[in-house]
Amino acid sequence: MTDFCTCEEWLNLKKNHSELFKWIPEYGWVITWIELSKERSHTQVNNYGLGIQFCPMCGKKLKLLDGV
């Protein structure tokens, strides 16, 4: 995963929860998660995401990937 911030909290989060943040070119940095809900005969999978512009740990403006 690419580093979007240099704060200590980000490094800890990257080490323990590396799939939480994703770079999506159309939206920039996105916090992502899935929700599983049990239906009658199957499990429903819902994907969610929230675009962010500032580091949720320290508040600094996020770094964009090269070429963007």
pLDDT, tens digit (0-9, with 9 covering 90-100), for 32-46? 999 999 988 999 999
Q: What is the pLDDT of residues 1-57, one digit of tens each?
A: 567 788 888 888 878 887 888 888 888 888 899 999 998 899 999 999 999 888 888
Alpha carbon of residue 53 to chain centroid: 11
* pLDDT of 67 strictly over 70: no
Identify whether the C-beta of residue 33 lies closer than 8 Å to the C-beta of residue 48.
yes
The strand pairing partners of 46, in sequence order, are: 35
